[in-house]
Structure 1
Amino acid sequence: MNTAAPRRFEALDSLRGVCAILVVMFHMPVASHWRDWGFIQHSYLFVDYFFVLSGFVIAHAYAGRLKTGRDAGRFMVRRLGRVWPLHVLMLGAFIALELARLFFHVDSASAFTRDRSVEAIFTNLLLIQAWHVHPYLTWNGPAWTLSAEVACYLIFAALVLAAPKRFRWIGLVLAIVGGVLVLTCAKRFMNTTYDFAVPRAVYGFFLGCLLQGILTKIPRLKGMAATGLEIAAVVAACVFIGYAQGPVTVAVTLVFVALVWVFSGEDGALSRLLDHPALVTLGRWSFAIYMVHMFILTVMMIVARKLNWVPERRIDFGSVWLNDLFAIGMFGFIVVVAVFAHRLVEQPAQRMIDRWTKPKMA
């Protein structure tokens, strides 16, 4: 397997960081000014950007490199090595919280029940928890996306080995099937997680693969025209997400396919802004931000209830401005914890897996 480093799409990586922030804002249980905005209420849809981008970059990096079963095995180990260590760390954190419930009664919830069952620990360790095996999200809820992506990785590797020249078009058929399943069978359409997560992910992932394959055949704009197109793409995506509800949400994947195409060329002023080192760094922290935030929010709610900060279902200090400051402070704390997780767990694990899977020189 050729190990030459593929191109890194910095603007797309930065957008991933922005999407991670918006997912955290969607989950933040604080009565802030922005909490009830339609854009924030529908920000769960930004997860589908992750699926499209993943398919795009995986096809870019690996479509021409998987020649044998050994290559496919190395690919799977490398992909799992990038997500599993941090996933297991956060699963361990949730289990520790459950033990605190069991032995110290930190809140009124019963320990190791329902979505925090012992059997769900094993499905989470195997990253199959979102393969329609549970009737709800389990443990670290956002990790359902990892489970769905692992399914996409397996399908991708099998297709590339079986039909290297036609895998994108076979993937297109699978993407259409995935989108139709979500549209016709998922009760909440694109807000589906534990049940139709794999079809939802396949829909975005393989459209991303197809886009990567035909990218060079699509004419590109340059200069001011490219900047105008980038602005139009961002505005269109924000407006769509702000208003999309019900069956129309299934079209969000197509919106993100267009967004990835527009910013993959990095031809306009917005791309140059996204190439700023601070935003690129945020993009590289995005996985850690996404993985740690639910645990921090869960602990925050336990503490808030004990301090009577939760008059209803959200933290509310009686002043929306104070609520805003608290939400910003909590987000800052999430980022700090995520940086430690990224540097102490995610990066070392990636380096170790890369060393293990590096092909030996002939």
Structure 2
Amino acid sequence: MRGFAAICVVATHFQERYAPSAYLAVDFFFVLSGFIIADIYGRRLSRGLPFQSFMKARLKRLYPLYLIGILVGLVQIILLTNWGLRAQSAVDLLMSTATNMFVLPSPMYFLQAHPMQGMFPINGPAWSMFWELLVNIVFALWLFRLSVRALCAVALVSAAFLVFVGLKYGMLNIGWEWPSAVGGLPRVMFSFTAGVVISRLFNGVSAWRRGWVALAPCLLLLICIVAPVPLVLRPYYDLIFAITLAPLIVTLGLLLEMPAQAEGLAMWIGYISYPLYILHRGVIGVFKPFAGSIGLNGPAGFLVLLGAVVCFAYMTARLVDKATAFQARRAA
């Protein structure tokens, strides 16, 4: 499901009309992250795993590909600038690169009149990693200690704030830029906490059923994040998905197991999901003007792009894995 959601994010960044609700994939990612982190680290933290060890493990998992995504985004900006397709000040580029490399939002929105767009202009998808690491810190310092009842209270309060910001901004495509940054915290806090609750309630529960029925939550997720929605209904649709459907889809994914014939493909798609998500934006930035110059547009252009970015993401992830394994062997 995570891999399919990442593909939809690629689609919306290529042409928004291909997946106009794909920004909701991030809410799904946060729920899934809460479930996985609680499942892997909840007991370990309760048994005395140091906070520093937890964060070191999270950064080791996320940062190498994150940094490559920043470098790819920087190359994209330099190329497009040289081609005369965009312009930004050198100060903006240098400051944004320096802060984004350390998973910090660029402050240039407050320092100049026309800054690059977003809190993470060097690589747009990196904004969600900022909130992900922030909520990981909150989990390791506080959330893992809470009972299910207390976690539900946190989720309820977060949901109330999420409803407020969703109605205020008219959608949940918020938290990635400074004008809507206030919406990022309730967005991640509700979804991540919901994932922790799911882990507490269903940890160790065997799958109810194994078979092709496990594709049902995948299809439901795809339909939800691809669907076009009238503007007047947008805030309500987004809130229903984030508060109700995303946790439900994660729970169904936990209780339904893929058939043996699909396990290999499912694991591979899951494997490329994070590299695909964090690396695709810079590739699209260079691909689109090149493809347009040779008339490669529409669905055909997207399929070529998708093939290229999937190959790039997979090969990069494999190289990172090999480098990590080599360093582990040397340390041993």
Q: Which amino acid aligns with 1:214?
A: L
Q: Which amino acid aligns with 2:154?
A: L
Retained in 1: the 8 A contact 2:123–2:282?
yes
Partners of 2:79 and 2:301 lie apart in 1 by: 26
Where 1:110 maps in the other structure, the secondary structure is coil
User: What residue in structure 2 maps to residue 82 of structure 1?
Assistant: 61
Partners of 1:264 and 1:354 lie apart in 2 by: 34
User: What residue in structure 2 maps to residue 16 of structure 1?
Assistant: 2
Q: CA deviation at 1:36?
A: 3.4
CA RMSD of aligned residues (A): 3.4
- Whether 2:183 is the aligned partner of 1:201: answer no
Q: CA deviation at 1:19?
A: 1.1
Q: Which amino acid aligns with 1:272?
A: P
Partners of 1:140 and 1:274 lie apart in 2 by: 36
Relative to 1, partners in 2 of residues 1:65 and 1:51: Cα closer, same or farther, differing over 3 Å?
same
Partners of 1:20 and 1:353 lie apart in 2 by: 29
Retained in 1: the 8 A contact 2:162–2:187?
yes
Match of 1:272 among 234, 251, 259: 259
Q: CA deviation at 1:178?
A: 3.0
Partners of 2:157 and 2:261 lie apart in 1 by: 34
Tell me which moved more, 189-198 or 105-114: 105-114
Q: CA deviation at 1:44?
A: 1.9
Relative to 1, partners in 2 of residues 1:165 and 1:155: Cα closer, same or farther, differing over 3 Å?
closer
Partners of 1:354 and 1:57 lie apart in 2 by: 26
User: What residue in structure 1 maps to residue 28 of structure 2?
Assistant: 49
User: What residue in structure 1 maps to residue 319 of structure 2?
Assistant: 344
Match of 1:65 among 44, 50, 71: 44
Q: Which amino acid aligns with 1:36?
A: R
Aligned residues: 312
User: What residue in structure 2 maps to residue 326 of structure 1?
Assistant: 301
Retained in 2: the 8 A contact 1:274–1:280?
no
Where structure 2 has 5 or more consecutive residues not aligned to the other structure, the ranges are 111-116
Match of 2:173 among 157, 171, 191: 191
- Whether 2:167 is the aligned partner of 1:181: answer no
In percent, how many aligned pairs have the same letter?
Answer: 21
User: What residue in structure 2 maps to residue 9 of structure 1?
Assistant: none
Q: CA deviation at 1:239?
A: 4.8
Q: CA deviation at 1:22?
A: 1.3
User: What residue in structure 2 maps to residue 312 of structure 1?
Assistant: none
User: What residue in structure 1 maps to residue 70 of structure 2?
Assistant: 91
Retained in 1: the 8 A contact 2:20–2:228?
no
Partners of 2:162 and 2:80 lie apart in 1 by: 36
TM-score by length of 1: 0.74
Match of 1:295 among 282, 286, 293: 282
Retained in 2: the 8 A contact 1:130–1:148?
no
Retained in 2: the 8 A contact 1:101–1:111?
no
Q: CA deviation at 1:95?
A: 2.4
Partners of 2:328 and 2:157 lie apart in 1 by: 34
Q: CA deviation at 1:326?
A: 2.2
Q: CA deviation at 1:55?
A: 0.4
Where 1:330 maps in the other structure, the secondary structure is helix
Retained in 2: the 8 A contact 1:28–1:297?
yes
Where 2:58 maps in the other structure, the secondary structure is helix
Where structure 1 has 5 or more consecutive residues not aligned to the other structure, the ranges are 1-14, 30-34, 310-314, 317-322
Q: How does 1:129-144 map to 2 (within 5 A)?
A: 129=105, 136-137=118-119, 138-144=121-127
Match of 1:124 among 86, 89, 100: 100
Q: Which amino acid aligns with 2:38?
A: A
Task: Tell me the alpha carbon deviations over residues 247-287 of structure 1, each in whole angstroms, 9 at most, x when there is no partner.
Answer: 331121321211111121335xxx22684202211111111
Which protein has the bigger helix share? 2
- Whether 2:253 is the aligned partner of 1:263: answer yes
Q: How does 1:110-259 map to 2 (within 5 A)?
A: 110-112=87-89, 117-129=93-105, 136-137=118-119, 138-160=121-143, 164-166=145-147, 168-186=148-166, 187-194=169-176, 195=181, 196-215=183-202, 221-222=208-209, 227=213, 230=214, 233-234=217-218, 236-241=220-225, 242=227, 245-253=234-242, 254-259=244-249
Retained in 2: the 8 A contact 1:56–1:211?
yes
Tell me which moved more, 40-49 or 184-193: 184-193
